[in-house]
Amino acid sequence: MLLSLDYILGSRPEAGSRQPRKPAFVRARKPRKLMRIRASELNNKVKVRPRIQRAFFTWLIQNRHRLAFDLLIEGRTDHFINFSFIGVNRAISAALTTYEINVSVEWNDECWDLLLSLESSPRRGCTGYFCKCCLDYFRQTNPGEEFTRIFPSREAVWVDDIFEPFLNWVNDDLANAKWLGLFGTPGSATWAKLMDASPDEDHTKDLTALLPCREV
């Protein structure tokens, strides 16, 4: 059975759903910072309000043993969690927002590039939860085919779209990289690349800096 977009999206509001909140500038309050804490030290007593943050911490507590690096939670508000990787060059850091995880490279007070960007847009339909971004892409690339990526909860969508791909990137890309190549010129165009070996002469034309991936 083909699931039309109208059918998937056509659903009654979730029980207990609230009216849209007022703009952030009306609700502004002093950011609540989380103490610097390693993922390996997290426990279920850590309480946060945003649902995606609760889902991330729950997933992290259950799966931190699978990560090649321990994470260091460095700051938190209701809009983001900033964290870094223990043993990895401090130029590389990450942030969980209200809908995505980004891993960025900052060097000499410049945001050089994003090494990873994963986003998700969970929606509730008649058959379960799905990612709106994934559905839109699927409909463009697989016209007429059945969309089957339906999940039992919003949290399950985040795990499949963001958390597990993030873990795979850490273990497959970051853990195997020896160098971080920074290319380009600030104010013009810059980009960064994880490298498992030093670049040869053919790839050093735009190289600005070559940093070790591991902390020294």
pTM reported for the whole predicted model: 0.81
Q: Is the pLDDT of residue 190 over 60?
A: yes
Tell me, yes or no, whether 20 lies in a domain: no
Count of structural domains within the chain: 1
pLDDT tier for residue 32 given thresholds of 50, 70 and 90: low
| pLDDT at position 22 | 40
pLDDT tier for residue 197 given thresholds of 50, 70 and 90: confident
Confirm if 212 and 178 have CB atoms less than 8 A apart.
Answer: yes
Tell me, yes or no, whether 23 lies in a domain: no
Tell me, yes or no, whether 175 lies in a domain: yes
| Domain hosting residue 179, numbered range | 33-212
Q: What's the first-to-final CA gap in the chain, in angstroms?
A: 56
How far lies 2's CA from each of 48, 88, 115, 202, in Å?
Answer: 39, 46, 36, 50
Tell me, yes or no, whether 22 lies in a domain: no
| pLDDT at position 164 | 98
Tell me, yes or no, whether 106 lies in a domain: yes
Tell me, yes or no, whether 87 lies in a domain: yes
Mean pLDDT, the chain, rounded, equals: 85
Q: Is the pLDDT of residue 50 over 70?
A: yes
Tell me, yes or no, whether 24 lies in a domain: no
pLDDT, average across residues 154-180: 97
> Going by C-beta distance under 8 Å and a sequence separation of 6 or more, which residues neighbour residue 14?
124
Tell me, yes or no, whether 28 lies in a domain: no
